[in-house]
Structure 1
Amino acid sequence: MSERSDKIGKTDPSDQSMDIAEVLKLADELLFTHTGDRLDSLQETILKGTLQGQKYAKIASENHLSEGHVRDTASELWQKLSETLGEDVNKLNVRNVLEKIIISNSVSAIGDFISIHQVSICSKRKRVPKPSPLSKPTEKHHLDIDNAPEITAFYGRYEELNSLKSWLIQDRIRIVTLIGMIGIGKTTLAIKLIEEIKTQFEYIVYRSLRYSPDIDSFLTDLLQSFVSAAAVPNTLDRQVDLLLKFLRKHRCLIIIDDLQMLFETGEFAGQYRAEFEGYYLLFKQIAELSHASSLLLITSEQPEDAICHPARCANASRYKFTRCLKLAGLGDSAKQILKDKELSDEEIWDTLIEKYCGHPLWLEMTATMIQELFAGSIAEFLSYPSLILSNEIVSQLSRVWGRLTESEKQLVNYLAKQEKSVTLVEVLQKMSDHYTPEIILNAIRSLKRRCFLEDNRDGSLRLDRTLEAYVRSHFADIA
């Protein structure tokens, strides 16, 4: 017998009850052999909690679910076990019923022969599992990440990685939004996260909105990661219902990249285009309904809705099931990029990293330029007074610039001319001739959602240094 602390039954040393893992395995095998369905993650959690003597309320609380949902799922589970075993199974007797089978036949007999109350499992006479559109019993951990980019290097980010793991695994947060400027490493972090937690979810799916699919096309494609193509409904409301049902039945992580492609261009950040309003409604439902699955949204613009909020508000009851993580520069970890590029003058690596705010893509592009034009010498490169931007960086920033409103462009141009941080009052005074305070404040909020402004603790405003250099060299003539 196992001596582990999670043994079923009484704690008396003479107690002969079986290990929880063995009982869970038995229940899973019984259901699979007689119905074709495996225990899903919630059923397994409920059975384990019941075997440990937990009440439904405690199981629900620990897993961030409603007690009603746990109770309904448990009732369905007891009914399935009752039909399988040919006797009444309920919360009070499930332990004794399953232990009796194990004690009578031993765990090693599972798959060869188990018999009790006219119930038998025999490998030569096993029932062919019935096909179920809502389960893939042969794949305990299903990964659909073929379209995710391959990561060739990962620098630092271990604190952020641990935060995401904690939110998704321990806290079971329903929607996590990962925000950061283009090229800051959001997708790389997400792919690394998959490597770290892939055994914690039954299904992990990665999808990009790079080509702005409508909600119908997106759901049709997404659902085929979970069910057969023939089982996907042809109406939007039924597709949403099926997805939500699957998220409740199985522990899933859905990673949605390039969320900013759903937002308006030339408007303040994070506003959904009219044709993509369905995405917002879907995310809202997923945030509000009871389930143990998670969405990880990756975007360079923070959505303008209540789904996303800063991590510092993590304890607010309003945001119990949502989190938002904003990625900044790499800091010291960026030195590995320069090392990999074999740049010289290590004593001034910090200076180069600071000038590019630790931005991994900017540093990688700049390091390549230093290799090609300055023989790897950072000192020679930094001898030029202004920040030099490669064509690749300019191209990336030009795409971002094109998304701004006119008021944001004017504000960015003003901030780019300042040698140091400015206060909100100063901005309101300087810009008052062109815009109302309402427009100015909304423009500032929008720039923060685009990660264009540094996060200064005193509330002062300063433009991201790379963007500042871009504006100074390309748009200095803006009034």
Structure 2
Amino acid sequence: MDIAEVLKLADELLFMHTGDRLDHLQETILKGTLQGQKYAKIASENNLSEGHVRDTASELWQKLSDVLGEDVNKLNPRSILEKFIICNKVSGNYISIHQLSFCSIQNRSPKSSPLSKPTANKPYLDIDNAPEITAFYGRTDELNTLKTWLIQDCPRIITLVGIIGVGKTTLAIKLIEQIQTQFEYIVYRSLRYCPTIDSFLTDLLPTLISPIIPNTLARQVDVLLKFLRKHRWLIIIDDVEMIFQARELAGQYKAEFAGYALLFKQIAELSHASSWLLISSEQPEDAIATRHKFTRCLKLAGLGESAKQILKDKELSDEQMWDTLIEKYQGHPLWLEMTATMIEELFAGKVTEFLAVPDLVLSNAIASQLSRLWIKLTESEKQVMNYLAKQEDAVTLLHILQEISHHPTDLLKAIQSLKRRCFLEDTTNCIGTIHGEHHRSSLLRINPILKYYLLSLPSLPT
């Protein structure tokens, strides 16, 4: 190894383990030592006292000793670092350790290199895999809420929850545009293809540090937390529902993905200045996103009035009927877009003619999406859904417990789970006046689109 290679390796290792780079004096001392210079000469050439150079050198050797697990001093840094490379090539203690050949380090892609420091008002962005926003509608209140949380409250975890297709990812990507200057680094990752926790961290850590990745999960998490404390990060994790178990209550992790639950728990509980935004169609079962002091949860509903822009972009006619169409489809952007496409293809864009069809029309795409949601439910959740689909009006929780012959505890868990999946809507109703005070009761109703889907089937599914 030549001097430049030794300096680069020492810098990489210190950065990975401590978050600090070699400063100018440390690099000067290490370079001078490798060239056989005495501390007195290094001090003289840099207009420093010999004592200051000696103290700085002692601190440097101690740091390298801690990193390498051997006693490093002014006589042996080159030999210790060379031995480190040889040992790790043979033992495989680190992933991709062969990349420590400096030829490959110099030629690696920017994604694999440690992050360069952000410039003023310009953070480092690692969002190449984020979906491109082609249109954005409304969501002013939601954006302001998220910005307030991230800028003023600085939560460690925010969970953004909503039924599939409601626009969670689009909102998150739009959010990046508006809060960039509040963070040093912003990263987007998706769990769409269900990576193991080890694969996830092995992919994430090179963005934070270097291609030298610790080989144990505990050490990987330690390194991750070190950088979350040292810098202000926003890490967006999309498609979190993919690591949850089907046919179980909402937000329960599959056995092979239990490591994510532990990671998110640590992120929420340990002190750091960074924020994680978890995007999911169902709320995590452990509820860290709602009860912990440093976490928040935002449930995303339909677009409301802003959904008119979707119909305008589709060039639909009969604008006076757009409010009715939006109400029927809950202002859900994807459902409206799918329906608008049907109106274009079958009714020449005429909303009035479409609404003249006696029943609510669900396109094949919407029905297929709802079918995939239905098969994920537990049997107790299906019982509750079947019952609510047959009701004309919203009903009280007590009424459900009395009418469905199932253990009350199981029913309560099922209702809670359905709410975490955003399948149920809460309303309140005044049920009477006692001693001059109004008493209200919580009412539950099924999402109208889901209700129609269930009722339109030949027989209610079980």
Q: TM-score, normalised by structure 2?
A: 0.72
Number of the residue aligned with 1:136: 115
> What SS does the corresponding residue of 2:279 show, helix, strand or coil?
strand
Q: Which residue of structure 1 lines up, in the alignment, with residue 163 of structure 2?
A: 181
**What's the counterpart of residue 250 of structure 1?**
231
Structure 2: tracts of 5 or more residues without a match? 1-9, 28-45, 50-104, 106-111, 430-441
| Aligned residue number for residue 353 of structure 1 | 326
Distance 1:217 1:137 in 2: 23
- 2:424 is matched with 453
Question: Residue 367 of structure 1: CA displacement?
Answer: 0.6
Distance in 1 separating the partners of 2:344 and 2:213:
52
2:446 to 456, 459, 463: 463
| Secondary structure in 2 matching 1:456 | strand
User: 1-side partners of 2:458 and 2:416: how far apart?
Assistant: 22
Alpha-carbon offset, residue 174 of structure 1 = 0.5
Contact 2:124 2:186 in 1 (8 A): yes
What pairs with 1:168-207 in structure 2 (closer than 5 Å)? 168-207=150-189
User: Does structure 1 retain, via aligned residues, the 8 Å contact 2:114–2:210?
Assistant: no
Match of 1:439 among 404, 410, 414: 410
Post-superposition Cα deviations, 1:406-447, rounded to whole Å, max 9, x if no partner, equal 111121111111122111122112212xx1111111111111
> Does structure 2 conserve the Cα–Cα contact (< 8 Å) formed by 1:145 and 1:205?
yes
CA distance in structure 2 between the aligned counterparts of 1:389 and 1:460, rounded to whole angstroms: 26
SS at match of 2:444: coil
Whether 1:476 aligns to 2:455 is no
Distance 1:144 1:340, change over 3 A: same
**Structure 2 CA distance, aligned partners of 1:259 and 1:208?**
8
Q: What is the deviation of 1:202?
A: 1.4
- CA distance in structure 1 between the aligned counterparts of 2:318 and 2:329, rounded to whole angstroms: 17
Deviation track 1:316-355 (CA, whole Å, cap 9, x = no partner) reads xx63210000001111000111111111111111111111
Structure 1 unaligned regions, length at least 5 = 1-34, 41-71, 85-114, 119-130, 310-317
Match of 2:138 among 156, 166, 173: 156
Letter aligned with residue 156 of structure 2: R
Letter in 1 for 2:240: L
In the alignment, which residue of structure 2 is the partner of 1:224? 206
Displacement after TM superposition at 1:210 (Å): 0.8
Q: 2:402 aligns with which of 429, 454, 461?
A: 429
- Is 1:296 the equivalent of 2:267? no
User: 2-side partners of 1:410 and 1:183: how far apart?
Assistant: 25
Deviation readout 1:6-31 (Å, 9 max, x if unpaired):
xxxxxxxxxxxxxxxxxxxxxxxxxx
8 Å CA contact 2:113–2:207 kept in 1: the answer is no
Query: Secondary structure of 2:215's match?
Result: coil
C-alpha displacement of 1:478? 4.1
- Confirm whether residue 332 of structure 1 aligns to residue 305 of structure 2: yes
Distance in 2, matches of 1:366 and 1:422, equals: 30
Structure 1 runs (4+) greater than 4 angstroms displaced = 80-84, 115-118
Note if 1:319 corresponds to 2:292: yes
Q: Quick one: distance in 2 between partners of 1:302 and 1:376?
A: 37
Question: Where do 1:282-431 residues align within 5 Å?
Answer: 282-309=263-290, 319-431=292-404
Sort the Cα spacing of 1:475 and 1:239 in 2 relative to 1 into closer, same or farther, 3 A. Answer: farther
Give the alignment of 1:258-277 within 5 angstroms. 258-277=239-258
Structure 2 residue matching 1:296: 3-state secondary structure: strand
The secondary structure found in structure 1 opposite 2:391 is coil
Residue 454 of structure 2 contacts residue 461 of structure 2 at CA under 8 Å; is this kept in 1? no
Q: 1:116 to 1:330 in 2, by over 3 A?
A: farther
Is the 8 Å Cα contact of residues 413 and 475 (structure 1) preserved in structure 2?
no
Shift of 1:142: 1.4
Structure number with higher helix proportion: 2
| C-alpha distance in structure 1 between counterparts of 2:115 and 2:130, whole Å | 22
Q: Return the alpha-carbon distance in structure 1 between the equivalents of residues 333 and 129 of structure 2.
A: 22
Deviations 1:277-297 (A, max 9, x none): 110110111111111101000
Contact 1:365–1:392, Cα closer than 8 Å, also in 2: yes
Q: Identity over the aligned pairs, expressed in percent?
A: 66
Preserved CA contact (<8 Å) 1:374 1:381: yes
Instruction: Give the aligned partner of residue 60 of structure 1.
Output: none
Local SS of the residue matching 1:462: strand
Q: Aligned partners of 2:458, 2:190: CA distance in 1, in Å?
A: 32
| Structure 2 SS opposite 1:454 | strand
Number of aligned residue pairs = 359
Distance 1:138 1:415 in 2: 55
Paired position in structure 1 for 2:35? none
3-state DSSP of counterpart to 1:254? strand
Cα offset, 1:391, TM superposition: 0.7
Evaluate the alpha carbon distance shift between residue 116 and residue 202 of structure 1 in structure 2; reply closer, same or farther with a 3 A threshold.
farther
- After TM superposition, give the deviation of residue 201 of structure 1 in Å: 1.3
CA shift, 1:165, in A, is 1.0
Give the equivalent residue in structure 1 for 2:93: none
Q: Is the 8 A contact 2:395 2:445 kept in 1?
A: yes
Residues 117 and 124 in structure 2, CA contact (< 8 A), matched pair in contact too:
no
TM-score (norm 1): 0.70
